[in-house]
Chain A
Amino acid sequence: MKYKSQKVAYWFFALSMLLIVLQITYGFIMGFAHMGYDGLHEIIPFNVARATHNNLLVVWLLSGFMGAAYYIIPEESQNELVSVKLAYVQLITLALVGVTAVIGFHFNWWEGRKFLEIPRPLDYLVVINVLTFLGIILVTLFKGKKQSTTAMVLTMGLVFAALLYLPGMIWFDSQAMDSFFRWWVVHLWVEGVWELIMGGILAFLLIKLTGVDREVIEKWLYVIVGLTFLSGILGTGHHYYYIGAPEYWLIIGGIFSALEPLAFLAMALFALHMYRKGGKKHPNKIAIFWTLGSAIVSFVGAGLLGLAHTLPAVNMYTHGTLVTAMHGHLAFWGAYGMIVFAMIAYALPQLTGRKLFNNPMGLYAFWLSLIGMVGMTVAFGVAGVAQVYLERKMGLDFMVAQIEIEVHFFVLILCATMFATGVGLFIANFLKYGQPNDEAIGQENDDFGSLETSD
């Protein structure tokens, strides 16, 4: 690392690792419940597990994004973070709010709105927390020596993500209106501004890992985020087909959400092309695996599997079934989980000064988690499609159909075990690196002169 204050990032990454373990644990509880084993029903009923699983996902990803920003912004703006102390306060309060929310869920303290279950009083604390984070990032960036495109796109993504949290806090008497604005948060996050964050992190990693000229990478970054907004903003319409919104959303949502894979395709092609063009290879191969992996898997999970059920005629049947869970799992893992893991895999050797990359454990972590998640996606897909035909097409009672598809959750749990093993190995590697080391400050491990060249 170049700047001492970048060390803050490590602790955000550590929080991410802790929370993903919890998230996976609650995922298992739900998987077993779907299979018919709901022994924990009295203590952790399904809706508690579900709220916890979803919200921990959001918080660990946000913590990962924040860690990425605290690492990237000093380096890109050539400036120490303006207040390290405040960044640690922000970290601790983020963790406290997250933990309080999760405990609250177990005591029926929540807002029953998917993804936005955090109770209202805690929402205000989230807003204060995020404003503190943005304050540190923005002041550091604009007091710095330069404002690179990569840093600006990343920051823009973070600022918009904060702004878009607000429509989710407005009370509506109407369930339909509530839903309409809930998607302003959820959709415009994951299929809009989070892609800016992902694009910014991806561009930073490609600049560092491939050695391709910054101007070239940043030019294509603009094209990709341009495509994201071109398709993603009106693509929100695919959530408005069947919630009491007018019919024109069927046409608009259908057309623009069918274009959404383009942004992800561009991202995958861009990452692969830059990697080839680079010619020289960075020694941290694991970071390259996660970076390219994220670009490719997000195209499959978010792009193609999203497209598979986004057209109104298909969505009429798949809306509100396990088909959504199929798309959701690979999309979140590919686009956001893997990019956070890529950032961590790149940053750990830099923060600690220890070059433990390219060990077998790191490779197993990558492949087991990836294959496990692909297997889970297939299991959800098979269960979802069977559910659609039995329940929606043939008209079987909900529970009759559910019992028919229970068997697929056995496969799901097997694959989830593989996935969890991969994540476990990644965390074991994380722990092996140890804590950030002051001796690593000022060291540059990206010096291509001393690195191996490609064959």
Chain B
Amino acid sequence: MLSKKQAKAFFLGGTVLFSAIFLALSFETVTVSMPEKTNADQITDAVVRGKVIWESNNCMGCHTILGEGAYYAPELTRVYSRKGESYIKTVLMAKEPWAPRGRKMVAYGLTEEQANDAVAFFKWIDAMDLNGFPPEPDPTLSK
């Protein structure tokens, strides 16, 4: 039967081993693969300003991006190709709450420059290689 000492060795040994593997893979991800797949070289100052707008207004509190956030408002990973630049800018610059089918969004009333930065951010996200996410719907199902 397993002794307490062996149980402790299992815990400590397993933790050290799997932490080491995790750290090694993480190192590869953040230094090589992720910058490639996310086009890190295309992160301009406008994209960074867009990210600040995204975070400082807690857009993730209603929307998801890269599938992460809240489930109250649409997924925005591919919003740039889905809706286009002018639609996004209209929503962000609106002075009255945007309310498609009745569900209200906060009226942020961004300036033209801020809206351009947000668009730059969405455009950069839009081009990422996300291993197939979001999935393509099957149009035959709704027939």
Contact = CB atoms under 8 A, between A and B. Distances in A.
Contacts of B51: 173, 175, 178
A222 B18 contact: no
A395 B4 contact: no
Nearest to A317: B135
A179 B54 contact: no
Interface range on chain A: under 10, 10 to 19, 20 to 34, or 35 or more?
35 or more
Interface stretch (A223-231, A272-280, A285-293, A436-444): A223-231
Contacts of A166: none
A450 interface: no
Given A48-B58, A233-B19, A387-B71, 17 more contacts: A30-B72, A50-B61, A50-B72, A51-B58, A112-B58, A175-B54, A180-B26, A219-B3, A220-B7, A222-B4, A234-B22, A242-B131, A245-B34, A245-B37, A324-B71, A395-B142, A399-B100
B103 A38 contact: yes
Contacts of B113: none
B66 A175 contact: yes
A41 interface: yes
A114 B65 CA distance: 11
Contacts of B15: 226, 229-230, 233
Interface string B1-17: 01110011011001100
Q: Is the interface of A mostly helix, strand, loop or mixed?
A: helix
Given A177-B34, A180-B34, A230 B128 contact: no
26 contacts: A34-B72, A38-B103, A41-B97, A45-B104, A50-B61, A112-B56, A114-B69, A117-B61, A174-B35, A174-B40, A175-B54, A179-B68, A223-B11, A230-B15, A234-B21, A242-B67, A243-B67, A244-B34, A245-B29, A245-B34, A320-B71, A387-B71, A393-B138, A399-B74, A402-B103, A403-B101
B118 to A, nearest CB: 12
A367 interface: no
B61 A51 contact: yes
A434 interface: no
Contacts of A176: 34, 37-38, 66, 128
A223 B8 CA distance: 7
A225 B12 CA distance: 9
Most chain A CB inside 10 Å of its own CB: which residue of B56, B97, B137: B137
B128 A112 contact: no
Nearest to A390: B142
Contacts of B61: 46-48, 50-51, 112, 117
Interface residues of B, number: 71
Interface stretch (A15-23, A59-67, A247-255): A247-255
Contacts of A324: 71
Given A112-B59, A219-B3, A242-B67, A319 B29 contact: no
A318 B124 CA distance: 24
Interface in A11-40: 30, 33-34, 36, 38
Nearest to B105: A45
Interface-central residue, B40, B58, B75, by most chain A CB under 10 Å: B58
